[in-house]
Amino acid sequence: MEELKKFMVLGTGNMGPGIALQFARAGYEVWIWGPDEKYRQEGISHFAENVGDLVREGIMDPGEAAMMGARVKVTTSLEMAAGVQMVVEAIPEELELKQEMYRRLEELCPEDCIIASNTSTLLPAALSEGMQHPERFLVAHFWNPAYLAPLVEVCGSKHTLPGVKDAVMAILRKIGNEPVLMKKEIQGYIGNRIMHAMNREALALIGAGVCSAADIDRVVLGSFGPRFAHLGPMEYLDFSGMDLIRNIQSYLYGDLDHTPGVLPVVEKLVAEGKLGLKSGQGLFDWSKKENRIRENRDKEFIRRRKEVS
């Protein structure tokens, strides 16, 4: 744990600079890597935007923001990995691309350097296949935005050393995250499985003509959404009583959607080119809808950060 002093984050998109900011705020030196000058500039821009968010919200003062620039460097040279004790990979979700990256890292990094992936879908066993030292590899799935959302899902393969898991859990706590160590591998990890189970039922209701997309959002934001900002869903089950929950499950669960694969409503939207905000139309017509997605996404995280700042 004491030897973890320098870090490298691979990827300059939405996740990499945010992850790097978490390490930098805790006083660590961090390299952000991008494959060429275009991506290097993207990393600089995203990192500055993230720091700016924290300064604007009063979570970070301008003096601390200036120190971030001294601790974080953005590079196109993967060779800088030779001087770090931990690498967090946040490149595109392509198995072969990631595996090739790990092969390159193993040629550069010392044997005791921890290699972690920020993947939200691929499993550690598949990712580390072909590595010379899979025992030092695991998944550390940060949630977006990584510089605000506290959760990191940590998952190793059968090869991952317990000491590696312990070290990563300890460093994540030290930089202010709330890591959860998974007991075994499972596709989608924990959070995405829960979120997509809800999404499947919601989209099925829309597809069946029960309600509109706007109705779904009104229902969630006006009922259990705010509740679960402060009360865990499993706590709520115990609070409600397992006898009541059993009765509900006995008649409701068999009627919930269990469509395998992609839902028809989603297939139809994609076929029509209605991809959501990026295309101007999806479940909503974004030409007629105020876009405050990022602001609303971060609001509760910011409130919580201000409480502990």
Pair (13, 151) in one structural domain: yes
2 has a pLDDT exceeding 70: no
- CATH number (domain holding residue 170): 3.40.50.720
Pair (174, 277) in one structural domain: no
141 has a pLDDT exceeding 90: yes
Q: Whole domain around residue 201: which residue ranges?
A: 195-308
* pTM given for the model: 0.93
Q: Does 1 fall in a domain?
A: no
Pair (44, 160) in one structural domain: yes
Pair (27, 176) in one structural domain: yes
Each residue's pLDDT tens digit, 72-85:
999 999 999 999 99
Pair (173, 244) in one structural domain: no
- CATH number (domain holding residue 263): 1.10.1040.10
Q: Which two tokens stand for residue 222?
A: 């006006």
Pair (46, 162) in one structural domain: yes
Q: Does 73 fall in a domain?
A: yes
Whole-angstrom Cα distance, residue 224 to residue 55? 31
Last residue within a domain, chosen from 181, 209, 229: 181
Q: Does 190 fall in a domain?
A: no
Q: Does 186 fall in a domain?
A: no
Q: Does 189 fall in a domain?
A: no
Whole-angstrom Cα distance, residue 158 to residue 4? 23
Whole-angstrom Cα distance, residue 220 to residue 216? 6
Pair (71, 141) in one structural domain: yes
Q: Does 188 fall in a domain?
A: no
Strands 137-142 and 151-156, how do they pair? antiparallel
Pair (224, 162) in one structural domain: no
- Determine the pLDDT at residue 265: 97
- Determine the pLDDT at residue 15: 97
Each residue's pLDDT tens digit, 206-230:
999 999 999 999 999 999 999 999 9
Residue 142 sits at φ, ψ, to 5 deg, of -75, 150
Each residue's pLDDT tens digit, 143-168:
999 999 999 999 999 999 999 999 99
Whole-angstrom Cα distance, residue 10 to residue 31? 8
Query: Is the separation of the CB atoms in 199 and 188 below 8 Å?
Result: no
Q: Does 212 fall in a domain?
A: yes
Whose structure tokens read 């991809």? 275
- For the chain, what is the domain count? 2
- Determine the pLDDT at residue 292: 84
Q: Does 187 fall in a domain?
A: no
